Amino acid sequence: MRVLSEALELIKAGLAKNQYYKIMNYVYKEAFSDYYMIHFPFYQNDTDDLLQGQKNLTNVCLSLLPSLHDKRVLEVGCGNGVQTLYIKEKYRPSLMVGLDIHEENIKLAESLRDNNGHQNVEFLVSDAQEMAGVESSSFDIIVNIESAMHYPEKDRFFSEIFRILKPGGSYVIADILSKVEHKNIFFRWLERRLDQSYWPLDSYIKGLSRAGLSIDMKKDITSDVLKGFELSSNWFANYTGSGKLRKSLITLFAKIQIAKHKYYLRNFSRYLIFVGKKNSGRQDSINERIIQMGS
């Protein structure tokens, strides 16, 4: 009965965002005896396992930024905190803060931080579209990897990036964008169930510009991510969980998710990285309007 209950939870997780991340954390812990990042893999070598593929994607994104060393870095949409802790350990910012809307994710992130003795790492429950508790002009760098497709009001998110970055501060956003205007009824229904809001490229460019954020680089990594998924047949070779039936259910769930992601990337969407800075000219304009209002 317990395995049947787990099977039902896995099915529900594939159709609801609020359960998806909880179940993915369970799947990782059950299959690998550890928690992994919750984003797609990026191909570099045929020997890459899932976690290495995820690290590859993080490294590619951060390689496009100025050095994070001794900087104040905010990760928006940090999920379970595994990527946040990886960034702190590898890139050595002076302060690393992870922000996520799901309290359960933040509790897990804090537990992983405390259990591993990480210093100068903080976690915060907050909405990316209104980052309550984060002061203006307080971070040098903002990182957002594979989370923004869940934000229906991306203009608010972009404005928050502008507000929070220090003058001249940098951002990186890795997101899945729509390349097809019309999808069939099933996929439109599925996106609503999963709270997914894919923007086309022109809307993204205009939105970042409206917020006063420059786009210094945009990089399409769709083919590298798809190639990363091609290695998925080896990911569960060293499954550490108990029970053949449970292993079969978890492996089947993973294969369905991977097939869905690959189908989307081949037919409906593309994976882009945006890198840019806070436009100081926009801030000067805002300051002028504030002075005029007060005079």
What is the pLDDT at residue 49?
94
- Quote the percentage of the chain above a pLDDT of 90: 67
pLDDT in tens, 148-200: 999 999 999 999 999 999 999 999 999 999 987 656 665 565 556 556 778 99
H/E element holding 36?
Answer: none
| Spans of all domains in the chain | 2-294
Instruction: Identify whether the C-beta of residue 71 lies closer than 8 Å to the C-beta of residue 140.
Output: yes
What is the pLDDT at residue 9?
54
Q: What are the beta bridge partners of residue 139?
A: 165
pLDDT in tens, 251-295: 888 898 899 899 999 999 999 999 999 987 654 444 444 334 343
| CATH fold of the domain at 2-294 | Rossmann fold (3.40.50)
Q: Mean pLDDT for the chain?
A: 87
The pair of three-digit structure tokens given for residue 122, joined into one six-digit string: 């903080």
pLDDT in tens, 10-40: 445 444 556 778 888 988 998 889 999 999 9
Alpha-carbon dihedral 89, 93, 99, 104, rounded to 10 degrees: 20
